[in-house]
Amino acid sequence: MNLLVDFFLFICYHKYMKFEKQKDGILVKNSEEFDAQNFLECGQLFRYRKNDDGSYVVLSKNNEAKVYKIGEDWKIETEAVEYFVNFFDLKTDYAKINKRLCDGELMNAAIKFGEGIRLVNNDFLETIFSFVISANNRIVRIKRVVENLCKGAGTKLLSGEFAFPTIKQLNEKDLDFFESLGAGYRGVYLYKLSRELADFDELVFENLSTDEARKLLIKFSGVGPKVADCVLLFSLGRRNVFPVDTWVEKIYHKYFESGIKSRNKMREFLIEKFGDDAGYAQQYLFYAQRMKGDKRII
DNA sequence: TCCCAGGCAAGGC
DNA sequence: GCCTTGCATGGG
């Protein structure tokens, strides 16, 4: 009986975002929970491009999609339908998450600002390389270096776009190649990382706690606490992490505590505060503050 | 010219 | 464990 009541309530009140798989892609229907522009431009991935007509080309691993708005709906045109359903995290109920996060003025404003952000489920290899490149770097330049990496080592697809290189392709390249990408001193990290990952099976993460996975990630070249958290968040589905970078430091000092603390202490504080929703909170706050610059979110 | 960017590695304590 | 320093590159 209780089960029946639950089911009834589920049907009536639990409004999951509607999306429809089609033969040439996915249609995300009139939803406040999906906005491709905010999703793509909030800094969680680097392989996208905006066309003159406002549509986006999105690349991940060896998959590609064209994303554009039709009226109030979003079309994700792709051959890799299942891949992008997972990539855009379409099966997760963000209305529910946002409701949990809306506990005050700051989060209300950040969620409103980044309406339609979702956390990407990206390829592990692509994510770890991308975020090693991201360290102490600027987003436009990160994008350029990642693109150089794909064009230099990846397979050319029929469309003319390039796939992210496989670990085998990366291992066929020497140190000079990695140093020619424009990555600066990170070139040698990328070279070492490719060797370290040559025989690595990412499935080992499945049996590890988030802390254990984090410790393992930090052993790789160019991966420190912040990059590890980004890999956990954007490719390993761990939402109970809070990557702390320069922007989060600013956020921390503006809206939380003003005492000078280490990044690690900030991270511990923010994880304690947001718990299993830490990753979502981080992405909303990061995006809003980065777009606002020195101005306040509230 | 100086400062900074989704930090990390290495070394000292 | 915590703190400091040096680090390629390029845009403001």
Answer yes or no: is A100 CB < 7 A from strand C.
no
Q: Is residue A11 pLDDT above 90, yes or no?
A: no
pTM of the predicted protein model:
0.95
Q: Which residue type occupies A86? A: N
Answer yes or no: is A7 CB < 7 A from strand C.
no
pLDDT in tens, A218-264: 999 999 999 999 999 999 999 999 999 999 999 999 999 878 789 99
Query: What separation in angstroms does the CA of A296 have from each of A77, A106, A113, A114, A196?
Result: 37, 10, 12, 15, 42
Q: Is residue A149 pLDDT above 50, yes or no?
A: yes
Nucleotides of C under 7 A from a protein CB: 2-3, 7-11
> How confident is residue A156, by pLDDT bands cut at 50, 70 and 90?
very high
Answer yes or no: is A237 CB < 7 A from strand C.
no
**Across A163-176, average pLDDT:** 98
In this structure, the number of other CB atoms found within 10 A of the CB of residue A30 comes to 12
Question: What is the structure's pLDDT at A16?
Answer: 66
> How confident is residue A17, by pLDDT bands cut at 50, 70 and 90?
confident
In this structure, the number of other CB atoms found within 10 A of the CB of residue A77 comes to 16
Nucleotides of B under 7 A from a protein CB: 4-9
Nucleotide nearest to A261 (CA to C1'): C2
Answer yes or no: is A227 CB < 7 A from strand B.
yes
Answer yes or no: is A137 CB < 7 A from strand B.
yes
Give percent of chain A with pLDDT exceeding 70: 95
| Spatial distance between the Cα atoms of A114 and A165, rounded to a whole number of angstroms | 31
Helix (H) or strand (E) holding A225: helix A225-234
Q: Is residue A160 pLDDT above 70, yes or no?
A: yes
Note the CA–C1' distance, A238 to C6, in angstroms: 33
Note the CA–C1' distance, A22 to C11, in angstroms: 43
pLDDT in tens, A22-71: 999 999 998 899 999 999 999 999 999 999 999 999 999 999 999 999 99
Ranges of beta strands (E only) in chain A are: 19-22, 25-28, 48-50, 56-60, 63-70, 73-78
**Across A187-207, average pLDDT:** 98
Note the CA–C1' distance, A223 to B8, in angstroms: 7
Note the CA–C1' distance, A141 to C11, in angstroms: 10
